[in-house]
Amino acid sequence: MARTAVVVDDHPFVRTMVRRLLEEAGFDVIGEADDVRGALRLGADLQPDIMLLDVQLPDGTGIEATRTMRTWETSPAIVLISTNDYADSAHLCGADGFIGKADLSLETLRAAVGPT
Amino acid sequence: MKRATQTVITLFGVDVLVAVLAMMQQHGNGRPWTFLVSDFIPGAATGLAAVLIWRRRPQNRIWWLLLAASLTFWVGDFEHHSNRNVALIGFAFSRWYDVFLAWAVLGYPNGRLRGRTDRALVVFLGAITSARSTSRLFLFVPADAAGYGTSNRFLPIHDDRWWRQVEDWHARALTAGIVGMLIVIAHRWLTSSRTTRQMLSPALFAGSTLAACVFYQTQLGWNSGIGPGRDVRIYYVVWWAYGALALALSVGMVRLRRTRSAVVDVFSELGHAAPPDRLGVALGRAMGDPSLKLMPWSSAASAYLDPSGQPVDLPADRSGRAVTLIEQDGEPMAALVHDAVLLEDPGLVNAVVAAVRLTIDNDQLQAELEARLADVAASRARIVEAGDNERRRIERNLHDGAQQRLVGTALGLKLAGSRLADSPDPRVHAVLAEAATELTLAINELRDLARGIHPTMLTQFGLRAALESLVNRSPIAIELEVDLPCEPSEVVAATAYYAVSEALTNIMKYANATDVAVRVRGDRQTIVVEVVDNGVGGATLGGGSGLTGIADRIATVGGMFRIDSPVGCGTRFEVELPCGSS
């Protein structure tokens, strides 16, 4: 059974492309959100296996959302994505990985989340 | 030469001539040299004092009173002249110098009698001396034909008791007048300011001494002059007292001159930026007038202000106090309330007025300049803030717009490439891969451009995170220490960030450094940023280093910037900024 995923990014085109990338990698994308509030709601309601989470969101940052979800009993594997370099911050906040958007590809995605 | 000056010089010449003739007369009378010296010195001193005061202050009336006293001082020397008419004049009109000297002492320092008491005393002394002169002219009968004085030439009087009665009454009246003078002098001294006392003290002391001597002389009944059996030493004392009085009147004027030097010292000491209240206190101290007040004019209140800043009415004219108004271009500027004696030196008052005018003017200019500088600083800060906001907006637009579209497009190409991986035409995959690569490069360049315009991490995560990101992107290892108890304001954080960014850029370009450290520490008031390297040194403002722009920005937020970069010894770049905590 394919692992489930949620995509959170405030840009519709990027969200669409990332969704397709996840599907290409064999994930079942069960939800999309465009802000921190949506990410937390989907994370709690859908309990996906993985969440691809943009750092710069309109109502906060993906790093804050990660910290919040890490306080839950169960939370998805979180990979932060951004056009800027937040690798250190991602590690510190408890994310499972960071991929720069310019480097997003099937290879980097699989390396970050593991096999489906 | 002006006519008035010619007249005065002529009068002084007459005084000298009369003095010489008087001494010749006394010498001819067989007087010893001690007598001649004692007789000459007081009259000469009085005349000399008149010259000195006239030279310094010709408008002051004192000098002509002293000249009159000097001229009349010699008159009595002619009472033994061989010419009966001259002898009569000398006999009848001696002691008129008492009246002129009394007038000079009571009217000191400007020769003007102050009130009814002063005028009454002078009129009284003039009246009794007139009575004495009249009596000597018309009632005098000598004791014997070979005795002292001249015989009466106008009235057939043979009884000498009339003129002796007048002489006795004159003595008593003169005594009363002298006592009255002493009381007036004592009261005036007690109620004067320090400056006035300094001026008055020598004259009042000498005047009191002279008055006491004359009092003693009249009590001895020696109004009738020197005769057989009289001890002349008391006359010596009296005459020297006359001379001392004249000199004391001059000394008082000189003391006022010393006040000028003290006033000059005040302005030298306080400099040009003394506020009116401090200046007023200092001037009062220098002039010996603690009650001196400098009241600046307030346009807002349309009134003069007292030292506490409250509107106040100028004091009405009263004895001893004067008000000098200070104006600039016809507009009121300040008022100086001071001891009236200072008006005796118009040059002093004018100098004080000019210096006060300069000081107040300078004070106002200073305030205007500070206000303008504050406006300029505020304007600069607004410009910087507007620039930062614009940069933030551009970065946001780049991030939200172009960058995301390129990211999406690159992803799309990569996806297309992976789906066409098994295509029979390998060029398709290659073209797609190349396009994706170029797009990735474009995304990275755009990211760097946006970061150069405004680092998003600074806004979202603060100065520490932004500096960490900056340092991590560096091709060489940089030691970073950040110790901040609170996050500075956005403007200050941006300034600190750009300063470090510029310093690191210069290090990468020019320094050839292998060891670089960035240290940021601070408290709630101040942030200190240091960038230190072991490179080639020689960094300066200007020369394309970009440090000039950073220095301007630092100055805008009220910070300071120091650079220590000896050639060959590395560079230490230090910035101190007010925290402006958010």
- The most distant pair of C-alpha atoms in chain A lies apart, rounded to whole Å, by 34
User: Could you give the ipTM of this predicted complex?
Assistant: 0.89
Listed as ranges, residues in chain A with pLDDT below 70 are: 115-116
Which neighbouring-strand residues pair with A33?
A8
State the count of interchain CB pairs (< 8 A) between A and B. 72
Q: Tokens representing B580?
A: 């402006």
Residue B149, pLDDT score: 46
Which run of H or of E encompasses A57?
strand A56-57
The answer to whether A54 touches A82, Cβ cutoff 8 Å, is yes
Beta carbons within 8 Å of B456's beta carbon, 6+ residues apart:
A56, A84, B395, B399, B450
The sign of the dihedral angle between the CA atoms of B77, B78, B82, B87 is negative
**How would you classify the pairing of strands A97-100 and A77-82?**
parallel
pTM to 2 decimal places: 0.52
**CA separation for the pair A49, A43 (Å, rounded):** 9
The answer to whether A115 touches A106, Cβ cutoff 8 Å, is no
CA-to-CA dists, residue A7 to A54, A72, B66, B148, B299, angstroms: 8, 19, 113, 141, 70
Residue A113, pLDDT score: 81
**CA separation for the pair B351, B356 (Å, rounded):** 8
**CA separation for the pair B351, B346 (Å, rounded):** 8
Residue B226, pLDDT score: 47
**CA separation for the pair B390, B460 (Å, rounded):** 16
pLDDT tens across B107-154, in order?
887 777 878 899 999 999 999 999 999 888 887 766 554 334 455 666
Residue B268, pLDDT score: 65
The answer to whether B306 touches B293, Cβ cutoff 8 Å, is yes
Amino acid symbol at B443: I
Which run of H or of E encompasses B357?
helix B346-397
Please name the residue ranges forming H helices in B398-488.
404-419, 426-453, 456-472
Q: Do B469 and A85 touch (CB under 8 A)?
A: yes
Is the preceding omega at residue B346 within 30 degrees of 0, hence cis? Answer: no
Q: How far apart are the first and last CA of chain A?
A: 9
Residue A20, pLDDT score: 92
Of A21, A85, A89, the CB nearest to B411: A21
**How would you classify the pairing of strands A28-33 and A4-8?**
parallel
Q: Do B408 and A16 touch (CB under 8 A)?
A: yes
The answer to whether B153 touches B88, Cβ cutoff 8 Å, is yes
Listed as ranges, residues in chain B with pLDDT below 70 are: 1, 141-158, 193, 195, 199, 218-233, 253-276, 317-320, 344-346, 542-545, 581-582
Q: Tokens representing B540?
A: 């300066």
**CA separation for the pair B570, B515 (Å, rounded):** 10
Residue B256, pLDDT score: 61
Contact A60/B at CB under 8 A: no
Of A17, A56, A84, the CB nearest to B412: A17
Looking up tokens 């009042």 gives: B204
Contact A104/B at CB under 8 A: yes
CB atoms within 10 A of CB B526: 14
Contact list, A11 vs chain B (CB under 8 Å): 400, 404, 407-408
* Chain B contact residues (CB < 8 Å to A): 399-400, 403-405, 407-408, 410-412, 414-415, 418-419, 440, 443-444, 447, 451, 456-457, 460-461, 465, 468-469, 472-473
Q: How far apart are the first and last CA of chain B?
A: 80
Contact list, B403 vs chain A (CB under 8 Å): 83, 101
**CA separation for the pair B95, B223 (Å, rounded):** 9
Contact list, A101 vs chain B (CB under 8 Å): 403, 407, 443
Residue B145, pLDDT score: 43
Which run of H or of E encompasses A97?
strand A97-100
Q: Do B415 and A24 touch (CB under 8 A)?
A: yes
Distance from CA of A7 to the nearest CA of B (A): 14
Mean pLDDT, chain B, integer: 81
What is the DSSP annotation of B146-179? TSSS----SS----THHHHHHHHHHHHHHHHHHH
Angle between helices B33-56 and B3-28 (to 10 degrees): 170
Looking up tokens 């480097």 gives: A103
Q: Do B415 and A103 touch (CB under 8 A)?
A: no
Contact list, B412 vs chain A (CB under 8 Å): 17, 20
Q: Do B411 and A88 touch (CB under 8 A)?
A: no
The answer to whether B357 touches B326, Cβ cutoff 8 Å, is yes
**CA separation for the pair A31, B279 (Å, rounded):** 80
Taking CA atoms, what residue in B is nearest to A13?
Answer: B408
Please name the residue ranges forming H helices in B61-220.
62-75, 84-92, 96-106, 116-138, 161-190, 194-219
Give the per-residue SS3 of B16-62.
HHHHHHHHHHHHHCCCCHHHHHHHHHHHHHHHHHHHHHHHHCCCCCH
Contact A105/B at CB under 8 A: yes
Q: Do B415 and A84 touch (CB under 8 A)?
A: no
Which neighbouring-strand residues pair with B521?
B483, B528
Of A63, A86, A102, the CB nearest to B407: A102
Residue A65, pLDDT score: 96
Instruction: Return the SS3 of B56.
Output: helix
- Best mutation site among A7, A8, A14 for testing chain B: the one with the most B CBs within 10 Å? A14
- Report CA Rg, chain B: 47
Q: Kindly state the DSSP code that residue B398 receives in the 8-state scheme.
A: I
Contact list, B399 vs chain A (CB under 8 Å): 56, 83
Which run of H or of E encompasses A54?
strand A50-54
The answer to whether A28 touches A10, Cβ cutoff 8 Å, is no
Of A14, A21, A24, the CB nearest to B404: A14
- Report CA Rg, chain A: 12
Distance from CA of B479 to the nearest CA of A (A): 16
Phi-psi region of A57 (alpha: psi -120 to 50; beta: other; left: phi over 0): beta
Of B408, B412, B461, the CB nearest to A89: B461
> If you count DSSP H runs as helices and E runs as strands, how many of each does chain A have, helices first?
5, 7
Residue B4, pLDDT score: 76
Residue B231, pLDDT score: 61
Nearest CA to A53 out of A3, A106, A94, A23 is that of A94
Q: Kindly state the DSSP code that residue B302 receives in the 8-state scheme.
A: T
